[in-house]
Amino acid sequence: MRYLFRPPAADAAGLLALPWHQPLEKWDDSVLLDVPSRGISRHVVRFTASEGSVYALKEIAEPLARHEYALLGTFEEEGLPAVSVVGICVDRPDGLDAVLVTRYLEYSMSYRYLFSSRRGADSAERLMDTMVQLLVRLHLAGVYWGDCSLSNTLFRLDAGSFAAYLVDAETAERHPTISAGKRAYDLDLARERVGAELMDLQAGGLLPSGIDPIDVADSLAGRYEALWDEVTREEIFRPEEQRYRVAERLQRLNDLGFDVGEVELVTSAEGARLRVDTRVAEPGQNRRELFRLTGLEVQENQARRLLNDIRTFRAWLEQRSGRPVPDTVAGHRWLAEVYRPVVDAIPAGLVGRLEPAEVFHEVLEHRWFLSEQVGRDVGTTAAARSYFETVLPGTPEELTTPSAITERR
Ligand SMILES: Nc1ncnc2c1ncn2[C@@H]1O[C@H](COP(=O)(O)OP(=O)(O)OP(=O)(O)O)[C@@H](O)[C@H]1O
Ligand SMILES: [Mg+2]
């Protein structure tokens, strides 16, 4: 047998002990984790925990495994939202297929859960927009997916909105750029698959009654075109509006979560033609800033939310002491005095239901809600207590991330 692990390969040691010589289907329950089935899949996919981390294992033909391993590796380097690949095992005995190992995407939710839950009833529109965001990002980076579907997408909460991740890159292709025809084809495949998946949910009685599978699937193209146009179109400005219109466009792209590479502005007497080279934002600005201040690694919208809370906290510190407080000091104090106490107070039985940063975000929302009700600020501690008693228990148990389950054992 031959194992290939991507650097830093710290995961390798624990994983080597698994029974690779047996078909995945025959692995003993003692090495597997019971993660509920998440979608339509052709291959045998199993989950395992090793040294506190959870991994997904997929048994597939070696050429496909190698292809997926290589592609997912480049996606990660470029900051494309996809599951993170750990390694592959090939040359298994008895002609067994290869196994692709990816890191379990913590706190991810499948479309099955999202469409059938309380949170999902009103979120079909937002889920479609999130998927389209993912597809536009891939296309901008020259990636043709060839299998864009709800089963191959994982969703995570990001400060109340969703973020989508690619989970299956078997059919994906990498090119310097991809043609409009190829993009349209990718989108058409997505439309077909999403339609079929939603009809499947409907047949199982899992789709809220107001949602029509065909309408939702058909809406993908329009959403995609709107976003693609927004991020790639050339614009003509009059000379006098040039400065603010350029700034406005760049800001809008940042707000949508894209970075701007080269900006080309060609001016003439009639005005200026602006062309921007839009890129996939590699860990967003807010994520980087929050990491610098606190060492916390969260998603972009969560980071924006937490940074706002740090700013408020800093202003309060300055007002109290009458002196300026450096942002790094404010960041560290906020972490120790505000954020950690909330996260540490999550009742043991509810740990792992939602990402800690998402819990904090929801506590801030809850604080606002309670404060509105009583007409004064109730403070974070009281808000957290009430949230843990009344809101968090409503999050379904199945959502608990597998690593929290293994830690509790
Ligand atoms: N790293 C991961 N983290 C979380 N869930 C995962 C991960 N890898 C796989 N899954 C879950 O397992 C399911 C199946 O995985 P995947 O799509 O890669 O295989 P497949 O569906 O058998 O391949 P195909 O789409 O070619 O049939 C996914 O829909 C996803 O819900
Ligand atoms: Mg799949």
The Å distance, Cα 59 to ligand 2 centre, comes to 12
Paired residues of 85 in beta bridges: 102
Residue closest by Cα to atom 2 of ligand 1 = 104
Domain boundaries, the chain: 2-103, 111-232, 235-280, 299-408
pLDDT digits (tens, 9 = 90+) for 253-304: 887 878 777 778 888 777 788 888 877 766 578 888 999 999 999 998 899 9
pLDDT digits (tens, 9 = 90+) for 65-80: 999 999 999 999 888 9
Highest CATH level, class, for 2-103 = alpha beta
Cis peptide before 402 (omega within 30 of 0): no
Return the CATH fold of 111-232.
Transferase(Phosphotransferase); domain 1 (1.10.510)
Q: How large is the average pLDDT for residues 179-203?
A: 96
Average pLDDT value over all residues in the chain: 90
Judged by its nearest atom, the ligand closest to the C-alpha of residue 68 is 1
- State the angle between helix axes of 300-321 and 327-334 in degrees (0 to 180), rounded to the nearest 10: 110
Q: Which atom of ligand 1 is nearest to the CA of 103?
A: 1
Judged by its nearest atom, the ligand closest to the C-alpha of residue 38 is 1
Residue 11 has pLDDT above 90, yes or no: no
Within 6 A (CB) of ligand 1 lie 38-39, 41-43, 45, 56, 58, 83, 102-105, 108, 110, 151-152, 154, 167-168, 170
For a substitution probing ligand 1, which of 53, 55, 152 has the most ligand atoms within 8 Å of its CB? 152
For a substitution probing ligand 1, which of 86, 148, 165, 167 has the most ligand atoms within 8 Å of its CB? 167
Judged by its nearest atom, the ligand closest to the C-alpha of residue 169 is 1
- Asked if the domains 2-103 and 111-232 are classified in one and the same CATH topology, the answer is no
The pTM for the full model equals 0.90
